Amino acid sequence: MSQRPTLLLCCGLLCDARVWAPQKAAFETDFDIVIVDFIGLDSFDDMADKALTAASGRFALAGHSMGGRVAFEIFRRAPERIERLALLDTGAIPGDAAEIEGRMKLVRLGYEKGMRAVADVWLPPMVRAEHHANRSLMNDIVDMICNSTPEIFERQQRALINRRDFVPLLPKMTCPALVATGRYDAWSPVSAHEEMAARMPNAKLVVFEEAGHMSTLETPDDVNRAFANWLA
């Protein structure tokens, strides 16, 4: 059995292990890295079950985007297993009518025109405009999106639509916590992360000044520095 601590990384909407590749490369020498995607699942209950089964014992837990919301559900179920917590480009509040309609509009687009059409509409606002010319970055994210089907997309969107209000959990999260987002993240803005961090007793707020929503891939060095401080 490994004597190294475990770092459990939860993927976001339509993302797979590639979204955490820079962090895996940076920390796999010192940690057992467990990356969990949620392809095929349609509830945060099932997503949390998958993540808790994937890791044994106690762990450091990080979630990006939808994965951050899964991290809330993991904490709600098993707070005693979480040594420290990182929430990236995410949110604690439930969705409103406008958000729900926007999500389902994208689902309909996927069924009507395919996942490449979803990527063409959904991706540009998620990545800082200055990074759009980085074809390697953009192609990697498009590949993740197109690796899923409209059915997979709908299942994950329904999980997000039906998510709990996690705000009441925030004061209970007393473990060392990193709350971070990209300065140019229009989906999960800095203000939302400021509010989350203010409610958490032992949280540090970090803003990735050059990133949009896909911070782990847009500015991996900044994310890795924040993780190094968080994991120290």
How far apart CA 111 and CA 215 sit, in angstroms, is 28
Q: Which domains does the chain have, with CATH numbers?
A: 6-94+165-231 (3.40.50.1820), 97-156 (no CATH)
Amino acid at 206: V
pLDDT of residue 3: 83
Q: Say which DSSP state 203 is in.
A: E
The SS3 of residue 8 is strand
What does the block give as tokens for 213?
A: 């929503």
How far apart CA 215 and CA 64 sit, in angstroms, is 9
How far apart CA 210 and CA 81 sit, in angstroms, is 33
pLDDT of residue 2: 67
Cβ(138)–Cβ(217) below 8 Å: no
Q: Give the global pTM.
A: 0.96
Residue-wise pLDDT tens for the chain (232 aa)? 568 999 999 999 999 999 999 999 999 999 999 999 999 999 999 999 999 999 999 999 999 999 999 999 999 999 999 999 999 999 999 999 999 999 999 999 999 999 999 999 999 999 999 999 999 999 999 999 999 999 999 999 999 999 999 999 999 999 999 999 999 998 899 999 999 999 999 999 999 999 999 999 999 999 999 999 999 9
How far apart CA 7 and CA 145 sit, in angstroms, is 25
Question: What separation, in Å, do the N-terminal and C-terminal C-alpha atoms of the chain show?
Answer: 22
Indicate the Cα dihedral angle 41, 44, 47, 48, nearest 10°: -170
CB atoms inside a 10 Å sphere around CB 54: 14
pLDDT of residue 154: 98
Residues 90-128 pLDDT 10s: 999 999 999 999 999 999 999 999 999 999 999 999 999
What does the block give as tokens for 191?
A: 């203000």
